[in-house]
Amino acid sequence: MNSPDDEKVGAAVTLGLLAAWALHDAEELATVPGWWRRSLPALRERFPTVPEAVWRRAEPADGREFAVAVGVMAAVVASASAAGRLTGGRSAAYQTALNAFGLHGLVHLAQAGLVRGYTPGSATSPLVVVPFTLWARHRLRRAGVLRATRPRDLAVGFGLAGAAVAGSHVVARRLTGATSARPR
- The pTM is what? 0.86
CB 126 within 8 A of CB 111: no
Gap between the Cα atoms of 141 and 184, Å rounded: 43
179 pLDDT more than 80 = no
Say which residues have a Cβ less than 8 Å from residue 135's Cβ, sequence separation at least 6.
Answer: 13
pLDDT digits (tens, 9 = 90+) for 61-86: 677 888 999 999 999 999 999 999 99
What separation in angstroms does the CA of 55 have from each of 50, 59, 87, 162? Answer: 7, 6, 42, 18
Using alpha carbons, list the distances in angstroms from residue 83 to 62, 94, 95, 170, 177.
32, 6, 10, 24, 32
What whole-number distance in Å separates Cα of residue 184 and Cα of residue 182?
Answer: 6
Q: Which residues contact 10 (CB under 8 A, 6 or more apart)?
A: 139
Q: Per-residue pLDDT averaged across 8-27, rounded?
A: 96
Triad 93, 99, 100: Cα angle to 5°: 85
Structure confidence at residue 43 (pLDDT): 87
Which residue from 179, 161, 178 is spatially nearest to 25, judged by alpha carbons? 161
Give 132-170 pLDDT, tens digit per residue.
Answer: 999 999 999 999 999 988 888 888 888 988 899 889 989
Residue 148: other Cβ atoms inside 10 A = 5
Q: What is the pLDDT of residues 115-126, one digit of tens each?
A: 999 999 999 999
Report the alpha-carbon distance of residue 24 to residue 119 in Å, rounded.
12
Task: For residue 105, give the nearest of 84, 75, 142, 135 by alpha carbon.
Answer: 135
Give the closest residue to 131 by CA, choosing from 146, 160, 109: 109
